[in-house]
Amino acid sequence: MATNIEAAPRRSLHFEPRKVAESPGDRVFGAISHTALAIWSLIVILPLLWTFMSSFKSSEEIFSSPFALPKVWHFDNYIRAWTSAGIGSYFLNSVIVVGFALLIVMTLGAMCAYVLARYTFPGSKAIYYLLLAGLTFPIFLAMVPLFFILRNIGLLNTLPGLIVTYVGFALPFTVFFLFSFFKTLPHEITEAASIDGAGEWRTFFQVMLPMAKPGLASVAIFNFLGLWNQFLIPVSINAAGPRVLSQGLAAFAGQMGYAVDFGALFAAVTVTVVPVLIVYVIFQRQLQGSVSAGTMK
């Protein structure tokens, strides 16, 4: 990842010698555009770079010379963040929770969306509006009752409780997105499958689901980002349970007051940011494609 962050600004410098444009006006406008966009890119990258750099410094060094490169590269910041601050176990918890929640919500969401999109039956509209309601209301409204529902069934402050809540709240978005996707798949294919003797179950798992792969990938990416970054749900219903990453990070930043181990804090932030950033850079084409797919249909 080090190379990724560091390579970025160097590339932007590379753009500045522009090729010859067709007219002087174009050249001026092109230069202005590039300048404006480059400034914004700098505003985005600088804080990230600074965090990354500070994560290798000692606390004193961060205070005394915030801009200098670290004199000694303190890799032990990462070790402290990972072990004594517990970021390692929080990371693992996040992977477990988000992994299971993603798997379950994708399966259930695809099933639900498929039935809603491909069959007409009484009540389908009601279900649709019920799902819409879940998208519109602020999650905050649900937190207090949810706290007691989970406590009553013994899932408060547990990872399974977190997983099932994540599944519930990610479901409406998943269904809406996949709903329009299943709508566009041709009906002839299901008919062909049924003529060939496939039942409903088989048609779904062996014919329709593989065909929906591009749609599934897009939703999975968005759900991953949403759940990985989720903060409110874990701090409300998992406050005393095994912490997930976002929760642990907040606790780490808040717990120590003025005696914060800044180097380790920056290391913890870097550990949180970097994996997702790497995944994004690898999949950015698909992701940007799915932003348009989600909004433009």
Single out the residue of 134, 168, 157 nearest to residue 236, CA to CA.
157
Residues 184-203 that bind another protein (CB under 8 A): 187, 190-191, 194, 199-201
Among 41, 89, 158, 286, binds another protein (CB under 8 A): 41
Among 145, 197, 210, 257, binds another protein (CB under 8 A): 145
Single out the residue of 289, 296, 295 nearest to residue 218, CA to CA.
289
Q: By C-beta, is 213 or 285 nearer to another protein? A: 285
Residues 230-259 that bind another protein (CB under 8 A): 231-232, 235-236, 239, 245-246, 249-250, 253-254
- Give the burial string for 181-220 (b: 16+ CB within 10 Å, else e): bbeebeeeebeebeeeebeeeebbeebbbeebeebbebbb
Q: Does 66 bind another protein (CB under 8 A)?
A: yes
Residues 73-92 that bind another protein (CB under 8 A): none
- Give the burial string for 54-89 (b: 16+ CB within 10 Å, else e): bbbbbbebbeeeeeeebeeebeebbebbbeebbbbe
- Residue given tokens 């989970």 in the structure block: 150
The pair of structure tokens assigned to 213 is 């792969």
Least distance between another protein and beta carbon 83 (Å)? 19
Q: Does 71 bind another protein (CB under 8 A)?
A: no
Q: Does 3 bind another protein (CB under 8 A)?
A: no
Q: Does 1 bind another protein (CB under 8 A)?
A: no
Least distance between another protein and beta carbon 134 (Å)? 5
Q: Does 152 bind another protein (CB under 8 A)?
A: no
Q: Does 205 bind another protein (CB under 8 A)?
A: no
Spatial CB neighbours of 45, under 8 Å, sequence gap ≥ 6: 5, 8, 9
- Residue given tokens 């770079």 in the structure block: 49
Q: Does 96 bind another protein (CB under 8 A)?
A: no
